[in-house]
Structure 1
Amino acid sequence: MVPAFFNIFGVVFVPLSWMMPPRSPSAPEPQIVAFMQSHNLLIACAILTLFFGFAAVGNAVYLMQIKRMSVSPVFRYALMVGSITGAIVGMLFPMFCFGLGAFRPGYRPSILVMLYDFGYLAYIGSLGCFCIMWMSFALAIILDQNNVLPKWLGYYTIWQYVTELMAAPVWIARSGPFAWNGLMTFWFAMVLYVPWQIIVYVCIYRSIKNQPEDELENAWLHQLPSASDVRPKATA
């Protein structure tokens, strides 16, 4: 389910709506209006409405693996709050901005430009919301003594979330490497993020497969005798 969500998420944002790769913040007004009035944006929003709840399943996978680690529950709660904040700002806000622009024809160009800016600034500029989430995940892996996940994944995660700090200049730069479609702000982060996202779920999948049954919260159910094992006592 988790890989399926990210595949759907990618299809919606890239070939369906062409919201990504991000369009230029200095695009001329006619191009912005044409993009914001595209019917594909409405289809993309409808699909996201049906499937963005799957993100909660993915976050739960992270939380359950951190729960197995020999670290404070603070790491688990920080990841949970960070993921909630990031999903609201980085997914719901852009969906409503782009969808609202396409929902009703006849909006003034100035309103569509504002929604365009709001949508992209929320999507790209919200990467910092995930820093606490990934920092908690990385430190939990590194400090864990149970070796639930490999240590190198923790260090890789640190590098991944450091690149997300580069999203801050998108509120200042309208062109160049630090604009929301710039080389440093977007493309450099994607070079690290895309392979990291694949690797982290492979590692978590292996961790789940290797998890001992006695660590499961419902392990006691497997220890109960089955009906065939229960024999009535012989009567005299």
Structure 2
Amino acid sequence: MNEAANRRTTLLGAWCGIAYIVMLLTGWWLIGGFLPLHEPSADAAEIASFFRDDVVSLRIGMVIVMWAAAVFLPFAATMADFVSRFEGRNGPLTRTMTMAGYANAMLTFYPPLWWLISSWRASERSPELTYLLNDIAWLQFIGGLSLIMPMFAVVAVVALTDSRPERVFPRWLGYQSVMTFLLFLPDQMLFFFKTGPFAWNGVLGFWVPLTVFCTWFIAIFVVMRRSLLTATARKARSGIEEFGAVR
């Protein structure tokens, strides 16, 4: 693949991050109907009724979320490509970013699958079984974040230790990554609370992690896109200058 084609595919990979966020929120909230959020303290009958109502919209939304997991993979590969520029090779930071990105895709894929299963025979099974499936999906979807937090750590290391004139990531992105990492930590308390700010529908259990999660992906997309467009413009100027020198 030539250099121009590589830049185009890398730029496409960067845009996949925005597509991922849009598909995730659209499928889960707007179509799937998960807003307002389920309350962890809700009883089995209430949860079972959710999966018996408007089943078609729920299933369409969850399929969109599952496809969002696939769309995330090129974005993860693009982030890993940028990290490899810092290492100068496919080193441990690059491989960590790749695996953490894959883990995020899996954590995006499997919870909607559990919710699809919950809706599949909701009127035929015991409400307690649907209740269990819903708990599994929520606790994995919101609580399994330890597998993706290395993404933030890797970007922080690259951004804060890169001393070259042309940095891979700006220093401010490193500080944002550290902040994102720290604000994710209280989310793990959702395993201990069914009500309050630490529950899976609480401020610290859901809304703060979701906000910093989306903001971080938008920020790294902006950085990667700007870097790729700058490199393209620089290459174009270089070509013009070379053509002028030949003339």
Task: Please state which band the TM-score falls in when normalised by the shorter chain.
Answer: 0.7 to 0.9
Q: Distance in 1 between matches of 2:136 and 2:177?
A: 28
Q: Deviation of residue 145 (structure 1)?
A: 2.8
1:160 corresponds, among 180, 183, 192, to 180
Q: Deviation of residue 137 (structure 1)?
A: 1.8
- For residue 65 of structure 2, what is the aligned residue in structure 1? 48
Q: Distance in 2 between matches of 1:195 and 1:83?
A: 16
- For residue 194 of structure 2, what is the aligned residue in structure 1? 174
- How many aligned positions are there? 215
Structure 1 alignment gaps of length 5 or more: 216-221, 223-236
Aligned partners of 2:68 and 2:108 also within 8 Å:
no
Q: How does 1:210-221 map to 2 (within 5 A)?
A: 210-211=230-231
1:77–1:175 distance in 2 versus 1, CA, 3 Å: same
1:92 corresponds, among 101, 109, 113, to 109
- For residue 32 of structure 1, what is the aligned residue in structure 2? 47
Q: Give CA deviations for 1:23-71 in whole Å, capped at 9, x if unaligned.
A: 2100132220112234122112333344431111110110111111247
1:135–1:107 distance in 2 versus 1, CA, 3 Å: same
Q: Deviation of residue 126 (structure 1)?
A: 1.0
Q: Distance in 2 between matches of 1:93 and 1:50?
A: 11
- For residue 128 of structure 2, what is the aligned residue in structure 1? 110
1:144–1:37 distance in 2 versus 1, CA, 3 Å: farther
1:15 partner amino acid = L
Q: Distance in 2 between matches of 1:7 and 1:59?
A: 16
Q: Which has the larger radius of gyration?
A: 1
Aligned partners of 1:70 and 1:145 also within 8 Å:
no
Q: Deviation of residue 142 (structure 1)?
A: 1.4
1:211 partner amino acid = A
TM-score normalised by the chain length of structure 2: 0.79
1:50–1:192 distance in 2 versus 1, CA, 3 Å: closer
- For residue 227 of structure 1, what is the aligned residue in structure 2? none
Q: Distance in 2 between matches of 1:66 and 1:20?
A: 36
Q: How does 1:66-81 map to 2 (within 5 A)?
A: 66-70=83-87, 73-81=91-99
Aligned partners of 1:149 and 1:207 also within 8 Å:
no
TM-score normalised by the chain length of structure 1: 0.82
